[in-house]
Amino acid sequence: MILINLLPHREEARKRRKEAFFVSLGIAALIGGVICGFIYAAYQAQISSQNEKNAFLQKEITKLENEIKEVSTLQAEIASLRARQQAVESLQADRNMPVYLLTELVKQLPDGVYVSSMKQDNVTLSLLGTAQSQERVSELLRNLANNSQWFNKPELIEIVAGSVALTPRDQRRVSNFSIKVQVRKPTDVQKPAAGASGAAGLPVAQEQKKA
């Protein structure tokens, strides 16, 4: 027997395809939402982890900045202590300076030269005195310039002829002079001495090595 389907099968098939399309579309949207949710959760986890790392780094940076400030403060205190130490050492060295100057001046005075006044202004020493002749004054200048480790750059300010009465009948012609000379500080005197002693010890050490 032959069966004839008089129902609208084409519309039914179109309806089923449409329903299948919407179902598949809903499933795809659901899957896409789930995937987006996983991706969002992963990104949020990474962002949270990075924020924690940033917070840790910021904390460590703050700690390092505080330590750097402490180091800077310590360096300033050390520099201040060194300056004080140098000032104390300089005062201790300068305390004995008048004794050194007087001792050295006595060594450099030629015979026939007498100092009547001595005045120090910082590193400049002014000398007033009397000499038997101008040649003795020249000898004093040479001694101060070449033979002394405490004096340098002597300068003759004035020399005036005068006379000294040894007795009422004995008048001697003399030369009254005024000299300025630069004074070296004890620390400046000790440095060349230390260098010379080191240079003197070097050949001895070399000879010992050769032996």
Q: Are 108 and 177 in a shared domain?
A: yes
CATH number for 151: 3.30.1360.100
Write down the pTM of the prediction.
0.47
String of b and e for 17-39 (b: at least 16 CB within 10 Å)?
eeeeeeeeeeeeeeeeeeeeeee
Q: Are 86 and 102 in a shared domain?
A: no
**Closest by CA position to 181, among listed 134, 149, 135:** 149
Q: Are 47 and 91 in a shared domain?
A: yes
Task: State which residues form the domain around 81.
Answer: 22-95
pLDDT of residue 50: 92
Specify the number of domains making up the chain.
Answer: 2
d(CA 48, CA 50): 5
Q: Are 86 and 128 in a shared domain?
A: no
C-beta separation of 172 from 166 below 8 A: yes
Terminal-residue alpha carbon distance, the chain: 136
pLDDT of residue 54: 92
For residue 14, being part of any structural domain is answered with no
Q: Which of 95, 126, 155 is the endpoint of a domain?
A: 95
pLDDT tens digit at each of 211 positions of the chain: 565 555 566 777 788 888 888 888 889 989 988 999 899 999 999 999 999 999 999 999 988 888 888 888 888 889 888 888 887 777 776 677 778 888 888 888 888 888 888 888 888 889 899 888 889 999 989 988 888 888 888 998 888 888 777 776 777 888 899 999 988 876 666 554 445 444 444 444 444 444 4
Q: Are 67 and 118 in a shared domain?
A: no
Q: Are 133 and 61 in a shared domain?
A: no
